[in-house]
Structure 1
Amino acid sequence: MNGESHERRDQRIQDLWRTLDTRNEGQLDLHALKKGLRTLDHPLKNADDLLHDVLKAVDTSGDGRIQYNEFRVFVEHAERELWQLFDSIDKDNSGGLDKNELRSAFARAGITISNAKLDQFFDEVDVNHDGEISFEEWRNFLLFLPGGRSSLGAVLSYYSATANVNQEGDVTINDTLKGFDFLPPPGYFIAGGLAGMISRTATAPLDRLKVYLIVQTNPKQAAIEAAKKGAPLQTVKNFARPLIDACKDLWAAGGMRSLFAGNGLNVVKVMPESAIKFGAYEAAKRALAQFEGSDPKHLRPTSQFLAGGFGGVISQCVVYPLDTLKFRMQCETVAGGLHGNALIIQTARKMWRQGRLKPYYRGLGMGLAGMFPYSAIDLFIFENCKRFVLARKAKKARCHEDDVEMSNFVTGIIGATSGAISATAVYPINLLRTRLQAQGTVLHPPTYTSIWDVTVKTVQGEGLRGLFKGVTPNLLKVAPAVSISYVVYENSKALLGLS
């Protein structure tokens, strides 16, 4: 094989055995094998599951230990199979494998591998980094592959099992801290924070309009009467009347400044909320992938749904007091009243006097009940639609999904769709929560004793339609907000080198 003499091969195998047998006992148990591989700094040194498979494959006597004669037979058999695979890939008979030869071999084997994964595998095996994998490098890296050495699929599975490729694209060989390897890189939190800040500022006036309509408890009588009389055209006109009147009222209360009331506080609140939501979502995906034994990018539908819900709930718990303060401040904004920091301070003091910390967490249960399905539905729809689009493009281009890109326009459309569906599904819950948060303010003077109380009073006073009050401006706000958020998030991840 590769022009090596019999004597040279014997000497090399003996030298390898002496390196592995660090205790010079003439045999290797699992602990000794692991210690020897660490001396070699071999990729298997910490891959405990694979080490059991190696020990079982080499130990033909079944005594739980590897003797030299068993080791020699295993190595010679492994090298023959590795040479046959190497020679079949080396189409130009140069004695070395370049990336194009490897890529072509994977394609012939019907295996789709991304360019990034191929680069990582190649760089790991090409020890001297001369741009070519020699048989010696190929053999040393794959020697302890337990079986299937004539299959590139087995080689790729072996590499994936021993190499943990982190999200920055660096390769580390199973040296992550047990119990903490589900934590995502900080770049996900940064990307999430930027996405939340930009999208929320761009849609602040629509958010302001939504809150203003929600806290009003007296619906426009003209719209109701027109509907009763069966005047469709008049109904449509009066349906838009509350929006027009609300815009006029808000403008009269302070012009452009009134439309952005609470946005500073909103940004302070939404940056950590969005950062934690996306970061916790990525962490949940990794944790559930470990539980499943799968890839975080290809979770089961149930796990995908739960990961999205967990991300939303964790972020909601952290920022809920700021969320309540923002709603209360917006409901205290009236013509001739305080604005800006003065209004924030006054509102915070008023809430403290009403019950110290309790008013800040009023409606938290309802908030979590609404946030879990909202975040779960939103992220579930977005991720699956994104995967569907990328799979179609990859199939059309005959490449791996990681090597195709999705345009910002498509990302925005998918984001707007997922956001609109999830927001509509949980809107009644959020409306009731908002009224609990805003109770006792200038725009919403009624007070409630519980979640049940606010539900009963809303339905009795405004009917079931009252549960969807403000849904129109909410959708006008949510669709572009979520769309912008996902576009910023995906582009920020790309800039930070995250997948």
Structure 2
Amino acid sequence: MKKMAALPSADWQWENAVAGAAAGLATVTFSHPLDVVRTRFQVYDGRISNVPAYRNTPHALYAIARSEGFRGLYAGFYPAVLGSTISWGLYFFFYSKAKQRYLRNREELSPGLHLASAAEAGALVCFCTNPLWLVKTRLQLQTPDQIRPYTGFHDALRTIIKEEGWRALYKGLMPGLFMVTHGAIQFTAYEEFRKFLVSSKAQENENTLATAADLLDSVDYATLGASSKLAAILTTYPFQVVRSRLQQRPSTTGVPRYIDSWHVVKETARFEGVRGFYRGITPNMLKNVPAASVTFIVYENVLNLLKLSRREY
């Protein structure tokens, strides 16, 4: 009879949530200026736009710092921190819960079940956090000469609901749901790369009973996080561009720039071609590839620390 894998207890789910929230907070804190630059590149279509034109990422950082100061580089920081912390916490929690459910009567999960677990977690997180990402995008796109700017997170939230209705908080939800594949690809790649690395190191050390915590260090977690993130970015980045363009603030007359996701796709393809769907990918990679390394270093180490503390207790 095959020996079934032990199912993690409910306590483990909260430990995954705490580790995920800590990882998300650490990630967004140091990388936010690149997120602002990426968002501005994503919505700039070379036609009518309230966003200034930038030559490249260094020029954008310099121009924003010069004209808007530190505040410009960290526009939308509060909803970004809140959204990232909640998202990562919920993501790891829902992901772990899904894996626990799929693990019943199995020794280990297949790549397909890792993919299903990640997709399920991503969809749930998307529904919970879309309003936060919409407010973040709106704040990041504000420039000093904008008419009736939002004064902050709460003002943006109140103004959006008052002027556009609560449904406006879910603009960009559809491409956001398609972006669930980003997390699914990233986590599946991470799990499979991790499994391969653990197996290779166990064979090298001739210790087949050693756990991942015994064999992997922070450099390994950084490499795993970066490589899995790169695979996900290259595959799903166009969905991010579509979402950002949908989430722009309407004009002073209340008319939105784009009607729906299909309208964004048609207009972008017509006037910008394939390149339009990858606007801002350079700052996105500069932000997210090292950020993914930090995220998984923090996550794995916090999780190992919690497990150690629990055993000692």
**TM-score, normalised to structure 1's length?**
0.56
- Within the candidate set 287, 290, 296, 1:477 is matched to 287
Whole-angstrom distance in 1 between the partners of 2:274 and 2:70:
33
Structure 1 residue aligned with 2:178: 369
Alignment of 1:410-425 (within 5 A): 410-425=220-235
- Within the candidate set 24, 43, 49, 1:215 is matched to 43
- Within the candidate set 6, 9, 30, 1:202 is matched to 30
SS of corresponding position for 1:185: helix
Question: Any idea what the Cα deviations from partners look like across 1:412-465, whole Å, max 9, x if unmatched?
Answer: 1111111111012111111001110114269xx961111111111112221221
- Within the candidate set 266, 274, 277, 2:80 is matched to 266
CA-CA distance at 1:288 after TM superposition: 1.0
Structure 2 residue aligned with 1:255: 69
2:167 aligned with 1:355: no
Whole-angstrom distance in 1 between the partners of 2:144 and 2:62:
12
- Within the candidate set 318, 323, 329, 2:133 is matched to 323
Structure 2 residue aligned with 1:305: 115
CA-CA distance at 1:212 after TM superposition: 1.4
- Aligned partner letter, 1:265: P
Check the 8 A contact 1:254/1:335 in 2, yes or no.
Answer: no
Structure 2 residue aligned with 1:458: 268
Whole-angstrom distance in 2 between the partners of 1:185 and 1:363:
29
User: Where does structure 1 lack aligned partners over 5 or more consecutive residues?
Assistant: 1-153, 168-180, 220-239
Alignment of 1:61-210 (within 5 A): 157=3, 166=8, 184-210=12-38
2:106 aligned with 1:294: yes
Structure 2 residue aligned with 1:60: none
Structure 1 residue aligned with 2:51: none
User: Where does structure 2 lack aligned partners over 5 or more consecutive residues?
Assistant: 48-53
Q: Which runs of 4+ in 1 moved over 6 A?
A: 336-339
Question: Any idea what the Cα deviations from partners look like across 1:244-273, whole Å, max 9, x if unmatched?
Answer: 432233113322221111112211111111
Whole-angstrom distance in 1 between the partners of 2:144 and 2:230:
30
Whole-angstrom distance in 1 between the partners of 2:289 and 2:272:
26
**TM-score, normalised to structure 2's length?**
0.87
Q: Which has the higher helix share?
A: 2
Shift in alpha-carbon separation, 1:255–1:338, aligned structure 2, 3 A = farther
- Aligned partner letter, 1:278: F
Whole-angstrom distance in 2 between the partners of 1:394 and 1:242:
44
CA-CA distance at 1:336 after TM superposition: 8.6
CA-CA distance at 1:333 after TM superposition: 3.8
* Aligned Cα root-mean-square deviation (Å): 2.6
- Aligned partner letter, 1:191: A
- Aligned partner letter, 1:277: Y
SS of corresponding position for 1:497: helix
The percent identity for this pair of structures is: 26
Shift in alpha-carbon separation, 1:356–1:185, aligned structure 2, 3 A = same
- Aligned partner letter, 2:281: V
Whole-angstrom distance in 2 between the partners of 1:269 and 1:456:
30
SS of corresponding position for 2:211: helix
